[in-house]
Amino acid sequence: MTITVNSRTIAITVVAALAILAAYLIGSARPSVAGAATPSTGSPADTGITVTGTGKVTGSPDTLRISLSVTATSQDVDTALASANKSAKAVQDAFLGKGVDKKDLQTSNVSIQPNYNSKGAPSGYAVTESMTASVRDLTKAGATLAAAVAAGGNAVRVDAVSFALEDTSGLVSGARKGAVDDAKAKAEQYAAAAGRSLGAVQSISEVVTSPTPQYMDGPLYARATANVALVPLQAGSQDLSVQVTVVYALS
């Protein structure tokens, strides 16, 4: 018997073999039903409750912050700068003389600008030197402000006056306790409504809101030194609050 093999027969045979191999490989890659992984069925996670609580306390400001500046003008910049320096030094000495600590006295800005007349031509220079002072003895607040303005004379401009509560250490403790008590009261209400018992605290986080300085409106010019001494500076009160987020377990 004679068997004739031509190129067409060989090609068909090769294609068939490749198809069988591919089918085998695909079948091997698929997991069998018996070997497939199944999710574990563990116990459910512990349930809990998350609540927020707020505690607020009121305190009296302990610091007066004064921002002021002195301005001098002249046809030449050296004269304007020298005049501004003299006024600024006098104001600083007045603050120090009233008991303001050097660390509470700070130069905040120095500006030198050309002046122009109505026709746009240069007409001299203006020098402004700004400073801030923190007065911690509020019984001397009015007298300290008056002394600083009197020392600078008509060159002084009071830009801002504000009261601040800087020592909040004692107030924060009270606010925290109030916030935690508030959160616990809420959690007990929710647990009782759900017919559950309140468990242990799982976590606590907090946000402390510090008092915002209270500013007196508008700038004050040294038009009349006597009137400055009569400015009724009232410190008032400021609030500090703490908000906590507490997670309790339920049993």
Confidence at residue 35, expressed as pLDDT on a 0 to 100 scale: 30
Locate the domains of the chain by residue range: 62-166+218-234
Average of pLDDT values for 41-67? 78
Find the Cα–Cα–Cα–Cα dihedral 10, 14, 15, 17, rounded to 10°: 140
Longest pairwise C-alpha distance within the chain: 137
Instruction: Kindly report whether the global pTM for this prediction surpasses the value 0.75.
Output: no
How does residue 59 score in pLDDT terms, banded at 50, 70 and 90?
confident
Confidence at residue 122, expressed as pLDDT on a 0 to 100 scale: 84
State yes or no: pLDDT of 162 exceeds 50: yes
Query: What is the identity of the amino acid at 41?
Result: T
Confidence at residue 166, expressed as pLDDT on a 0 to 100 scale: 83
Confidence at residue 213, expressed as pLDDT on a 0 to 100 scale: 57
Lowest mean pLDDT among 51-65, 103-117, 211-225: 211-225
Q: Tell me, what DSSP letter sits at residue 75?
A: S
> Terminus-to-terminus CA distance in the chain, angstroms?
90
Among the listed residues 166, 169, 170, 108, the one whose alpha carbon sits nearest the alpha carbon of residue 133: 108
Q: What is the pLDDT of residues 168-193, one digit of tens each?
A: 888 888 999 999 999 999 999 999 99
Q: What is the pLDDT of residues 98-119, one digit of tens each?
A: 999 999 999 999 999 999 988 8
How does residue 87 score in pLDDT terms, banded at 50, 70 and 90?
very high
153's CB contacts (< 8 A; 6+ apart) are 87, 222, 225
* Three-class secondary structure assignment of 175-228: HHHHHHHHHHHHHHHHHHHCCCCEEEEEEEEEEEECCCCEECCCCEECCCHHHH
How does residue 2 score in pLDDT terms, banded at 50, 70 and 90?
very low
How does residue 129 score in pLDDT terms, banded at 50, 70 and 90?
very high
Confidence at residue 124, expressed as pLDDT on a 0 to 100 scale: 92
Provide, rounded to the nearest whole percent, the portion of the chain with pLDDT above 70. Answer: 73
Confidence at residue 25, expressed as pLDDT on a 0 to 100 scale: 53
Average of pLDDT values for 121-125? 89
Confidence at residue 209, expressed as pLDDT on a 0 to 100 scale: 83
19 or 58, higher pLDDT: 58
Q: Any idea which architecture 62-166+218-234 has in CATH?
A: 2-Layer Sandwich (3.30)
Provide, rounded to the nearest whole percent, the portion of the chain with pLDDT above 90. Answer: 51
16 SS3 class: helix
Confidence at residue 163, expressed as pLDDT on a 0 to 100 scale: 87
Confidence at residue 46, expressed as pLDDT on a 0 to 100 scale: 52
